[in-house]
Amino acid sequence: MRIFTATLAATGAVLLSGCMTAQPANLGTTYECDRGTRLQVSYLREGALVRVNGARAIPFRETPSNAGSIYESAGNRLARNGNTVTWNTAARSAPETCRAINTIQ
């Protein structure tokens, strides 16, 4: 019984630690962009989850940058610098500038 209890406790600890790595660094920052796009971004350890105009969250991977943070996913790009981000998609010729309007910690 002791071995079973110890194994169960160890398994629970491993499962719990696995869940913790997927937790966002913040619960979400909402941005309003200069062309009307609204972004909700949850920043993760090595990326971000981005919702565009309330649609399904898209996972983005952080890429190396000299200034600020850059996140990319399938032709989409989010460049973060302080309280503003620059948002661009493959379908758009010019990026949008967006400002933070709400952050939930």
Spatial distance between the Cα atoms of 91 and 76, rounded to a whole number of angstroms: 9
- Residue pair 74/26 in contact by the 8 Å Cβ criterion: no
80-105 tens-digit pLDDT = 998 999 999 988 789 999 999 987 75
Checking if the pLDDT of 54 tops 80, the result is yes
Hey, which CATH number is domain 24-104, 3.30.1330.60, 3.40.50.300, 2.40.128.200, 3.30.1360.120? 2.40.128.200
* pTM above threshold 0.85: no
Residue 105: predicted pLDDT: 58
Average pLDDT over the chain reads: 80
* List of long-range contacts for 15-20, beta carbons under 8 Å, 24+ apart: none
Query: Which of 50, 34, 39 lies closest to 97, judged by CA?
Result: 34
Domains in the chain: boundaries: 24-104
23-32 tens-digit pLDDT = 555 668 999 9
Checking if the pLDDT of 75 tops 70, the result is yes
Checking if the pLDDT of 3 tops 90, the result is no
pLDDT top residue among 60 and 5: 60
pLDDT top residue among 72 and 22: 72
Spatial distance between the Cα atoms of 16 and 34, rounded to a whole number of angstroms: 41
